[in-house]
Amino acid sequence: MKQPSLQMTDAQRSSTIAAVFCITLGVIYCIMTSLLPQAAVGMPNAPKVFPYALGFSLTGLGIGLLIQQILSIRQNSPKTEVKEKSETVTVDYHTKQILLTVANGVLYALLFKKLGYVLSTTLFLGLELFLFNGKGKWKVVLAVSVIFSLFIYILFNKLLGVYLPMMPVVGF
């Protein structure tokens, strides 16, 4: 969403993106609704009515939000300060941390059943603590992740009867 001719504040930019997202999601949702199979019992289109209403509403609300934002951007005085550069740097770092956390979570999901709870969690938590703390505190990172995984495993499996996946071969 780059509109170099218009100056947008951070809030306006994120709202505009949200509006475009809503319109897109609304339209896709409507198309997907139209592709749903018909009901074998009762009114054939009954399962589609409610989703259609939702899809149209979201598209409408998205258009409403977009108009709102366009109007407010127009009202903006040209003097509004937009601190583009400094903010991009911090946002980028922030986004990177979030993306790494998500990637770590996906890795966790992939390894969870294969490695068992204790190992996969030690790895996941260790990486996450590393992401928060950096290299310096590796002893704390290691201690916290091992103790947490073992504590939760024993608490859940032995005391609470919620069974978490065991490690292969070792059976723990």
Partner 1 sequence: MDSILQLMHGFTVALQPMNIMWVTIGGVLGTIIGMLPGLGPATGVAVLLPLTFSMGPVAALITMGGVYYGAMYGGSRASILLNTPGDGAAVAATFDGYPMTKQGRAEAALAISAIASFIGGVIATVFMVLVSVPVARFAIKFGAAEYFQLYVFALAATASMNKGNRVKGFIAMIIGLMIATIGIDAQSGVKRFTFGILELQSGIDFLIVIIAIFALGEVFKSFKNIREGKANIQKDFGKIWISRKEWKRSVLPILRSAPLGFFIGALPGAGGTMASLMSYNNERQLSKHPEEFGEGAIEGLAAPESANNAASVGAMIPMLTLGIPGSGTTAVMMGALMILGLKPGPLLFQQQPTIIWGLIASMFLGNIILAIVNIPLAGGLVRVLSVPPKILYPIVLGLSFVGAYAISYSVMDFYILLIFGVLGYLMGKAKIPTSPLILAVIVGNNMEQSFRRAFTISDGTLGIFFSSPICIVLFALTIISVGYPLVKSAILAAKNQS
Say whether residue 113 binds partner 1 (CB under 8 A): yes
CB of residue 162 to partner 1, shortest distance in Å: 5
DSSP letter for each residue of 69-131: HHHHHHHS-TT----HHHHHHHHHHHHHHHHHHHHHHHHHHHHHHHH-HHHHHHHHHHHHHHH
Figure out which of the listed residues 9, 20, 101, 146 binds partner 1, where binding follows CB under 8 A: 101
- Contact of 36 with 51, CB cutoff 8 Å: yes
Cβ-proximal residues to 140 (8 Å cutoff; 6+ apart), any chain:
129, 133
How far is CA 1 from its chain centroid? 20
CB of residue 132 to partner 1, shortest distance in Å: 4
Pick the closer one to partner 1 by CB: 40 or 78.
40
Say whether residue 125 binds partner 1 (CB under 8 A): yes
Figure out which of the listed residues 37, 78, 136, 171 binds partner 1, where binding follows CB under 8 A: 37
Q: Measured at the alpha carbon of residue 168, what is the angle toward residues 164 and 170, in degrees to the nearest 5?
A: 100
CB of residue 20 to partner 1, shortest distance in Å: 11
3-state SS, residue 136: coil
List residues near partner 1 by CB under 8 A. Answer: 11, 14-15, 17-18, 22, 25, 29, 32, 36-42, 46-47, 49-51, 54-55, 57-58, 61-62, 64-65, 68, 90, 94, 97-98, 101-102, 105-106, 108-109, 112-113, 117, 121, 124-125, 128-129, 131-133, 140, 144, 148-149, 152, 156, 160-164
